């Protein structure tokens, strides 16, 4: 079948853009490994009757690590960053 493994789940490119109020963020994550999907459970499946299926998956813990570059502006102060990152979320919902 040639399916990608769930742990670690590899994502080559993620773009994050937030422009809300006094905070703007433009960030890119590259070569990101996500650990924890193998422990995830399907909580809810809906929308099949409308041909718009949605699946809610809950993972007890997801850890993301990879490379990032970002430009942020907070209260008029510009902050640039580039390097490696690691972040862990508990009770993470994926829809």
Cβ partners under 8 Å of residue 95, min gap 6: 54, 55, 56, 57
Q: What is the pLDDT of residues 20-40, one digit of tens each?
A: 888 899 999 999 999 998 898
Q: What is the pLDDT of residues 49-82, one digit of tens each?
A: 888 888 888 999 999 999 999 999 988 899 999 9
| pLDDT value of residue 95 | 80
41 is written with which tokens?
């459970």
Q: Report the 10 Å Cβ neighbour count for 59.
A: 20
Which own/partner pairs from 81-85 qualify as long-range (CB within 8 Å, at least 24 positions apart)?
85/29
pTM tops 0.85: no
């Amino acid at each position: 079948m040639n399916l990608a493994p769930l742990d670690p789940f590899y994502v080559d490119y993620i773009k994050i853009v937030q422009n809300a109020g006094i905070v703007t963020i433009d960030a890119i994550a590259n070569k990101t490994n996500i650990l924890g999907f193998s422990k995830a459970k399907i909580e809810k499946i809906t929308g099949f009757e409308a041909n718009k299926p949605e699946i809610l998956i809950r993972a007890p813990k997801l850890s993301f690590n990879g490379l990032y570059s970002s430009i942020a502006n907070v209260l008029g102060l510009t902050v640039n960053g580039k390097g490696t990152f690691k972040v862990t979320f508990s009770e993470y919902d994926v829809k």
